[in-house]
Structure 1
């Protein structure tokens, strides 16, 4: 007796229909560049803020972070390090501007001190409040008193 193996025509057609539905719904999301640009720029800004905080703790110098719709930048604040230029780890020059289709909402102009918190007045103390920036659909907040950087969804 000969056994026949394979798929029926109905099974093949159903697989093709399901693949067609998935490609019609899912593929446009993969090719929307704006979503990728927003996420990548958000991650750049977030990692730079974290880098600034770590640099302030490691160097003992004030590190200023500016984020707005024109881009983001890091610079040393007043004090012993004030004349030294901070280099971006990817060797880009500050300020780093957002891609053309990415909107940045909210402004941040903070200064981390050697404790890792946002410098108050005098700069050795920590200030209070929160600083929030939104890049596209992604947001993060820096808690001034602790320096905790919280990513919000």
Structure 2
């Protein structure tokens, strides 16, 4: 008599049922876009804050960043020169495409308060401030020395 090896139909069906249950419960957790959108917006704002600090260092002009529930924007904190083409106070910083450096909060990420920081020509920030994104999932603080602290 030849001994056959393999799985019974009952074993195969049980494996398929278990895989079905696991996929129904686990896969939606991996593909929830809300978490990804919140993280993306947080990283976008963080990048803009770092850019504002670097621009202030490179240009010698004070740069202000404001982050609120509508989005973020980079402006000049004071006049940068006396000529008519020099940036004036509250003018938007130009982005590489030629428009104003700003971003909308299109994902409607919850922000605990309005965040405003001005970087001077040495990269120092005034006033030091902090903000929380997505009900505290991401926290960002800018210290008076210019150190940008991120906690998650």
The two structures share one fold, judged by TM-score above 0.5: yes
Summarize deviations over 1:41-77 as a string: whole Å, max 9, x none: 1111111001101111111110110011121000122
Partner of 2:83: none
Summarize deviations over 1:73-112 as a string: whole Å, max 9, x none: 0012213253364233577644422125421222211110
Report the number of matched residues: 143
Tell me, in whole angstroms, the C-alpha distance in 2 between the residues paired with 1:99 and 1:66.
Answer: 16
Partner of 2:142: 142
Tell me, in whole angstroms, the C-alpha distance in 1 between the residues paired with 2:138 and 2:97.
Answer: 22
Q: Which runs of 5+ in 1 are unaligned?
A: 120-126
Across the aligned residues of Structure 1 and Structure 2, the Cα RMSD in angstroms comes to 2.8
Q: Give the CA deviation at 1:20.
A: 2.0
Tell me, in whole angstroms, the C-alpha distance in 1 between the residues paired with 2:113 and 2:66.
Answer: 11
Asked if 1:105 corresponds to 2:112, the answer is: yes
- Kept in 2, the 8 Å contact 1:37–1:99? The answer is no
Tell me, in whole angstroms, the C-alpha distance in 1 between the residues paired with 2:142 and 2:54.
Answer: 14
106-115 vs 30-39, greater mean Cα deviation: 30-39
15-24 vs 135-144, greater mean Cα deviation: 15-24
Q: Which runs of 5+ in 2 are unaligned?
A: 81-85
Q: Which of structures 1 and 2 has the bigger CA Rg?
A: 2
Tell me, in whole angstroms, the C-alpha distance in 2 between the residues paired with 1:69 and 1:37.
Answer: 15
Q: Rate the CA distance shift 1:149–1:11 in 2: closer, same or farther, 3 A.
A: farther
- Kept in 1, the 8 Å contact 2:67–2:73? The answer is yes
